[in-house]
Structure 1
Amino acid sequence: MSADDRFGRSFREERESRPLGRRNEIVTGPVSDWATDFSHLEPEWAADPYPIQDDLRRRCPVARTERFGGGWLPTRYEDVAAVAYDTEHFTSRSVVMSNFRPPREVAPVGVTPPISSDPPFHHDARKLLLPAFKKSAVARLEPATRAYCHELIDSFEGRDVVDAAHEYAQHIPIRVIADMLGFPPEDGPRFREFVENTLEGVNLPPDERIARMDKLFDYLLEQIRDHVANPRDDLTTYLIEAELYGRRLEPSHVSGTMALLLIAGIDTTWSAIGASLWHLARTPADRERLVADPSLVPTAMEEFLRAFAPVTMARLVREDMTWRGVEMKADDWILLSFPAANRDPAQFDRADEIAIDREVNRHAAFGLGIHRCVGSHLARMELRTALEVWLERVPSFTLADPAAVTWAAGQVRGPRTLPVRIT
């Protein structure tokens, strides 16, 4: 079958031909008790989840909610790690907790392989991506990334207040991922819309959420067809031509992996950059130390990743079972809060402190287990480069208005607005 034939059918037609997943009644409103009614969409969670997580870790290490059709939230490092490594009792067929669960038939591939894939398929799907994200491949992207960071800061000329999230952090991974996939860089605003629909629209009615996701996959189909007609040296063409088990990838595999790279490769990194700049804007001692000694940036960066880990992943319970003393039902959600795990005092000394010279720092910001982030080298390069350029060009800055800083709700947390004053 030619590539043209493979991608002749729209992804919407393909999705509509599959069995429907489980949809749940939407439950909203203020949280009554975080131990029995948690919701990662509430404004107080977005603004500052750490006191909530600390309280749960002390009195109820595995919290419960009836929202989203039922789910669980472990907050201790050992419990988060146990779920992450346990592929027998927990499936990855959906990693974004919402009111819609894909049908069991999508396993072991899932909607966005390899992050939605279960063993043994996961290993082979992940292996396809490793060449593009190895250290040597990422190193080749650094000069262009560094030049783009300078270009963004050049645009600040003559201004004393800028939005470090919207005008700096958000643009960097968008440009990097667009270049890797061979997408038009001017489509950046559309990428932001796709990110928000995927990660922040989880409490929408399932039909509306699916319709919004269709926009993403329609866009990907448009890009794929353009690459079929005009192959080039980028990740999209690589996926179109890649083989697994002796045959070309299914269209749903190609589009799902592209969706993963577009969504996960953008929001996670811009959130990490933004949170790091937020900390430095409000902590002059750390900012001045890094300006005086840029060689400390890589170590400080790891601490920012630990303390402000942006990503929380989800799993689904395979079958009814008792786990850590709680009765879990098949298809219950379980949220893997890597941010909570990274602040567990049983795992990290001075867990609630930001120590930019912390030497031993085996954090879980990039996940644990088989789904540890395949793009960790890329994310580290982007974060380090963004901080180095910013501190070189903007060595003195503060929060222009702390109350004006807003944070994303949902499973990827980072500043959405971050007005800073250049001093």
Structure 2
Amino acid sequence: MNTDSLSPPSAKHRVPVPDHVPAALVREVDAYALDGIEEGFHEAWKRVQQPDTPPLIWTPFTGGHWIATRGALIDEIYRSPDRFSSRVIWVPREAGEAYEMVPTKMDPPEHTPYRKAIDKGLNLAQIRKVESDIRAVAVELIEGFAEKGHCDFAKDFAGVFPVKVFLALAGLPMEDAPKLNLLANEMTRPSGNTPEEQGKSLEAANKGFFAYVAPIIEARRGSAGADLITQMVNSEINGQPMAQDKALGLVSLLLLGGLDTVVNFLSFMMIYLARHPETVEELRSDPMKLQRGVEEMFRRFGVVSDARYVARDMEFQGTKLKAGDLVLLPTVLHGLDDTQHEDAMTVDLSRRNVAHSTFAQGPHRCAGMHLARMEVLVTLQEWLARIPRFTLAEGASPIYHAGIVAAVENVPLVWEV
């Protein structure tokens, strides 16, 4: 890692602590540059969640905001849109205000008909219909490198498999993936050294998505295709055709969700499995344990950290919150909460009562969760059937990135042919 480009903590862009924030709750946590992230994204967030860490802390970085550090709080805030609004769901605030995708930035009941439009193509019954197609993509990719005895998992599988599946469902060409991936990276990990710079980066990426989807929406309005985009843009909202600005936001959100989250989740999961051959053997030994183990994987490897906007002045957790405050919800900290899961950093395939917010909670629970579960299950089944034992290459150093969606690069795996 090139440390020359990293600012010392004292030089990071920070804001003054507001009068209503008790000094005892202030912690220096930068959600885009976590301390110790070179050792792992989940490990870095776990360092924040110490036994004496308050359930709610405040950081002067990323424009200044609260962070929920316990699973019970994260769950409650997600389920309480009347108190914790989705009108700004990104930190810093400048990025959140530039974000224009729907219905993630809407609250009930306005958001509900748009959510129904998304669910139409991504419900469990629809995803089960395409399981064989999903499986065929995974098999083709794995068999393309299985005989070589090595691959960069992040680049050769995780960065291709869910993207290929999703673009096929949306009826879009695979050659558009690199352009869309660049936009997705700037949406979920916007570049810049200040909140204002990050806001401008996100705004440009958001406009890039809108420019890409506008002609596609126009071409598919009024048609009868079975792809996800056609289904969504021809949905009625409260008995009326969907407005153009909402269609732009909805289709862009669809692409953003399909191109970034599962891609990175898969790589985090495989790094762990490459380092824990005993867990791999357990997965291989029992097909039912593998199926049930998918939920344990989602608990352990949460990747999303979005935010909520405090709707009004209130007291919460014994702390005064002001209207307009932002609360970051690192879903990783729900799954890794030792007060809810014993030995939370360990993947335990026999664990019961698995609780997590990896797909969020409440009205904004992830519409793509059925597709994500299918992709993870298929990956495990088809990979282990062809590459039953594998490790990280000697000296491998995965490169971790924090942000709204965590990412990891450089995941070289090796195995005997």
Range class of TM-score, shorter chain: 0.7 to 0.9
Question: Number of residues paired by the alignment?
Answer: 390
| 1:351 CA displacement | 2.4
Of 138-147 and 211-220, more deviation after overlay is shown by 211-220
| SS of equivalent to 2:49 | helix
| SS of equivalent to 2:62 | helix
CA distance in 2, matches of 1:238, 1:70: 40
Tell me what 1:338 maps to.
331
Q: Deviations over 1:321-374 (max 9, x none)?
A: 332233333322211122101121222233233202223313222112221112
Amino acid at match of 2:281: E
| SS of equivalent to 1:139 | helix
CA distance in 1, matches of 2:25, 2:181: 30
Matching of residue 96 in structure 1 with residue 85 in structure 2: no
Counterparts in 2 of 1:90 and 1:128: CA distance versus 1, 3 Å = same
In structure 2, which of residues 44, 54, 57 is the aligned counterpart of residue 60 of structure 1? 54
Counterparts in 2 of 1:199 and 1:170: CA distance versus 1, 3 Å = same
| SS of equivalent to 1:322 | strand
CA distance in 2, matches of 1:385, 1:66: 42
Of 272-281 and 358-367, more deviation after overlay is shown by 358-367
Of 191-200 and 227-236, more deviation after overlay is shown by 227-236
Tell me what 1:113 maps to.
102
Contact 1:309 1:365 in 2 (8 A): yes
Matching of residue 140 in structure 1 with residue 133 in structure 2: no
| 1:421 CA displacement | 0.8
Tell me what 1:75 maps to.
69
Tell me what 2:46 maps to.
51
CA distance in 2, matches of 1:402, 1:409: 22
Amino acid at match of 1:159: K
CA distance in 1, matches of 2:350, 2:340: 17
Q: Deviations over 1:217-256 (max 9, x none)?
A: 1111132233349762212112222111121111121111
CA distance in 2, matches of 1:370, 1:152: 35
| 1:143 CA displacement | 0.7
Tell me what 1:362 maps to.
355
| 1:403 CA displacement | 4.2
- How do 1:209-248 residues align onto structure 2 when only pairs under 5 Å count? 209-228=202-221, 232-248=225-241
CA distance in 1, matches of 2:9, 2:339: 27
Tell me what 2:142 maps to.
153
Matching of residue 281 in structure 1 with residue 274 in structure 2: yes
| 1:77 CA displacement | 1.4
Tell me what 1:392 maps to.
385
Contact 1:164 1:420 in 2 (8 A): yes
CA distance in 2, matches of 1:292, 1:162: 24
Q: Deviations over 1:179-238 (max 9, x none)?
A: 222111221212221221100116434334312322121111132233349762212112
Contact 2:71 2:356 in 1 (8 A): no
Counterparts in 2 of 1:30 and 1:297: CA distance versus 1, 3 Å = farther
| SS of equivalent to 2:155 | helix
CA distance in 1, matches of 2:110, 2:132: 35
CA distance in 1, matches of 2:295, 2:226: 32
CA distance in 2, matches of 1:170, 1:240: 27
Of 136-145 and 177-186, more deviation after overlay is shown by 177-186
| SS of equivalent to 1:67 | coil
In structure 2, which of residues 27, 30, 55 is the aligned counterpart of residue 39 of structure 1? 30
Contact 1:315 1:334 in 2 (8 A): yes
Amino acid at match of 1:279: Y
Contact 1:42 1:409 in 2 (8 A): yes
| 1:35 CA displacement | 4.3
**Unmatched segments (≥5 aa) in structure 2:** 1-5, 11-23
CA distance in 2, matches of 1:212, 1:131: 27
Amino acid at match of 1:360: N
The runs of at least 4 consecutive aligned structure 1 residues that moved more than 6 Å come to none
In structure 2, which of residues 96, 100, 113 is the aligned counterpart of residue 124 of structure 1? 113
Counterparts in 2 of 1:215 and 1:101: CA distance versus 1, 3 Å = closer
| 1:311 CA displacement | 1.8
Q: Deviations over 1:355-400 (max 9, x none)?
A: 0222331322211222111221111001100111111111111001
CA distance in 2, matches of 1:230, 1:247: 16
Amino acid at match of 1:60: P
CA distance in 2, matches of 1:195, 1:276: 21
Counterparts in 2 of 1:86 and 1:68: CA distance versus 1, 3 Å = same
Tell me what 1:166 maps to.
155
Give the TM-score of the pair, scaled to structure 1: 0.85
Contact 1:316 1:331 in 2 (8 A): yes
Tell me what 2:15 maps to.
none
CA distance in 2, matches of 1:238, 1:345: 42
Contact 1:31 1:38 in 2 (8 A): no
| 1:129 CA displacement | 2.0
**Unmatched segments (≥5 aa) in structure 1:** 1-27
Q: Deviations over 1:44-78 (max 9, x none)?
A: 364332432322x5233212122333211011112
Contact 2:279 2:347 in 1 (8 A): no
Counterparts in 2 of 1:164 and 1:115: CA distance versus 1, 3 Å = same
Contact 1:319 1:331 in 2 (8 A): yes
| SS of equivalent to 1:100 | helix
Amino acid at match of 1:67: F
| SS of equivalent to 1:69 | coil
Amino acid at match of 1:308: F
| SS of equivalent to 1:59 | coil
| SS of equivalent to 2:172 | coil
Counterparts in 2 of 1:189 and 1:140: CA distance versus 1, 3 Å = same
Counterparts in 2 of 1:229 and 1:138: CA distance versus 1, 3 Å = closer
